[in-house]
Amino acid sequence: MASPNCIMFSFFIVLLWSSCSVLSNTTPEKFYQCICKNSDFSEPFSTAFFTPKDASFIPILKSTAQNLRCLMPSVPKPELIFTPKTEPHVQAAVICAKQLDIQLRVRSGGHDYEGLSYISEIGSPFVIADLSKLRGIEVNLKEESAWAQAGATIGEVYYRISEKSKTLGFPAGIYTSLGIGGHITGGAYGSMMRKFGLGVDNVMDARIVNSKGTILDRKSMGEDLFWAIRGGGGASFGIILGWKLKLVVVPSTVTVFNIPKTLEDGAMKILYKWQQVVDKIDDGLFMKVIIKVVDKKEVKGEKTVQTTYNALFLGSVDRLLQIMNESFPELGLTQQDCTEMSWIESIMYNAGYPKNTPPKILLQGKSMFKNYFKAKSDFVKKPIPETGLEGLWKRQLEEDSPLLLWNPYGGMMAKISESDTPFPHRKGVIFMIQYVALWHQPDKELATKHVDWIRRLYDYMTSYVSTSPREAYVNYRDLDLGMNKNGNSNFSFAQASEWGNKYFKNNFNRRTPDLGLLRYVEVGGASKLIKEVHAGTCGPHMNGFMLVKKILRSGYFWLTMESDCILYVQKFHQCQTHADMIRVPPNELHVTSSSWPFVAWGMDVISPIKLAASNGHSYPSNYWDTALQSEYPPVPRLTLVYGNEAVIPAEVEIPSLRIIQEAKLSDAEWIQSRFEQLAHIDGRRINAVCHGQLYQNRMAKAFNKKARPRHFTPG
């Protein structure tokens, strides 16, 4: 029986939409009815649906959207906004979107740089699932952890932690209106990342709704999926419901400073020095640079470039001054430039809140900065020379409101492997650049002007940033790098690699034969992994090819793994010592292919054979060498095919087209099957050789047990 709540609201929906066209009403009405069928009613959700006819539709659409460029009149709008209040509501939304073939866009904090959490360029109807009502936070001081629902903002998480403890924190973003659901799926960097790593490096568990509408935690989803959601991009693998965060210990007193330097103050040389020290300086110091265009103080109407050094140090001002004087005296930091405060106060300071603003304002989850903008990102692995900086200043001065943010790396970021999470930008990165072009009017021509400028700047920086690939940060999503054309679900893996390799590097293309993700192993970790998987196991069953298979089954991959494994087994001393033995001492064994005549007689196969009927006549022991082998001079000793290379019958190991047709396989299945068989053909040959060696060794051992030693003397 249908719920009264559902019946009454359905009647209200019919009345509300009766004046609308049938086509425009179909999607919201069907979606609501489907939600009714697939949800419980312990939590009423009649006020969770908003259509374009509702007065609150536009305010809700704009409520958390950060990039106003994505809300211009020409941008497609959703047919419905659904604000689930419980986790089962999210499950129902996934099930219904699948049943009705409707696009489902998921929004947490609305900080997607291209607005993909609340817009769609595909053209088909779409619905927004806005998770802003799911913002519960539970802090566990004993476990030093916290559960945060996906709709909560980073600022709310920070405040709830500080409520319970003054010495615990979490390393995530600087902008407090970031929704934690999407923020962590891209990595979640912040001002403590050099000390504690990214937000994804400090996630203990998660709850997610998969494409079937099932809620999974870390145990039920498996380590592969848990690995993928921590940095693999928002909404790529399901809808995040919440994260379990590992809290970190922060000092009771931290220090901040903010020092501006213009070109007239020697900003270029200071910034060049900053590049040389910022990734090597104390791990507790995060010193980013904000670069923008300002008015000159001396000359009215003229512009100059200003670099502002904004820092957080996890410690006292005295220790900070000591570090800066040793590593970066060029900045000229003094005690008057620094301010000591608590960790939560530093959050307010770096987020741009006015002085003395109470931290409780973070619970509002509101953004202080909403603009029309276009952004891009880069990673720098060697200092940009002063000539490059000069060109950068020149292009900065061409734009009205340019903004560059240089965020330092090093510290813990260099200690964590690229493959620990999908976020690959780790060791070797000095700093990350965020380019931003800002404007304040919803004018299409104005937007084109600013977007063209940032694209030219991005092209100019090509020779100064990472290459092969040119890396990009997935949370600074940039559709200029590539996108699915018109929502084409048949978009190939090779085409997706156009941007996938830039966001994820080698983490993008690691897959098992069943298309599951593999963890990419760096060169430094490969030898350790081989040693652990091999575990000293020798014998023909653990050759290089078998070792490769075992590592793949364990879920790891690197480009040279086959050659590395073969070389490891060849050089492994114990394997070479005991290669032809199975649980026997390393003594030389003598194996013959035809020992059956002698076992019955109990005779030594090595000594000359004497005939009892003759008068001391004996056959020579080297009869094969001197007589039989002369009949086949070109044939290697003990070759069974007499000069021809042994081959595996194609009809058995590699099915032909005739076999494929009989099996009624598709071309794609046949090609995939043939590729897999060819890829492992060498391994099968090695297995055959190993099997033969194993058989001979076992036979030799059996015969040696029965052989009775004899000593013969001539005469």
> Do 4-133 and 137-249 show the same overall fold?
no
3-state class of 455 per DSSP? helix
Phi, psi (deg, nearest 5) at residue 23: -65, -45
Match 């909403």 to its residue by tokens: 370
Query: What single-letter amino acid sits at 538?
Result: C
Give the per-residue pLDDT at 553: 74
Domain boundaries, the chain: 4-133, 137-249, 260-340+371-481, 521-577, 596-706
d(CA 179, CA 175): 10
3-state class of 585 per DSSP? coil
Give the per-residue pLDDT at 421: 93
Could you tell me if residue 269 is left (phi over 0), alpha (psi between -120 and 50 degrees) or otherwise beta?
alpha
C-beta separation of 62 from 106 below 8 A: no
d(CA 511, CA 504): 14
* Structure tokens given for 134: 């799911």
Per the annotation, the verdict on 435 as an active-site residue is no
Residues 6+ apart with CB under 8 A from 709: 604
Architecture of the domain defined by 137-249: 2-Layer Sandwich (3.30)
Low-confidence ranges of the chain (pLDDT < 70): 1-25, 41-46, 123, 485-494, 510-524, 536-542, 559, 575-671, 673-675, 677-680, 682, 706-715
Give the per-residue pLDDT at 38: 83
Residues 6+ apart with CB under 8 A from 20: 53
C-beta separation of 434 from 111 below 8 A: no
DSSP secondary structure letter of residue 493: H
Architecture of the domain defined by 260-340+371-481: 3-Layer(aba) Sandwich (3.40)
| CATH number of the structural domain 4-133 | 3.30.43.10
Could you say which of 118, 409, 458, 476 is catalytic? Answer: 476
3-state class of 609 per DSSP? strand
Assessment of whether the complete model's pTM goes beyond 0.75: no
d(CA 396, CA 307): 12
Give the per-residue pLDDT at 280: 96
Residues 6+ apart with CB under 8 A from 504: 232, 422, 423, 424, 474
Give the per-residue pLDDT at 712: 60
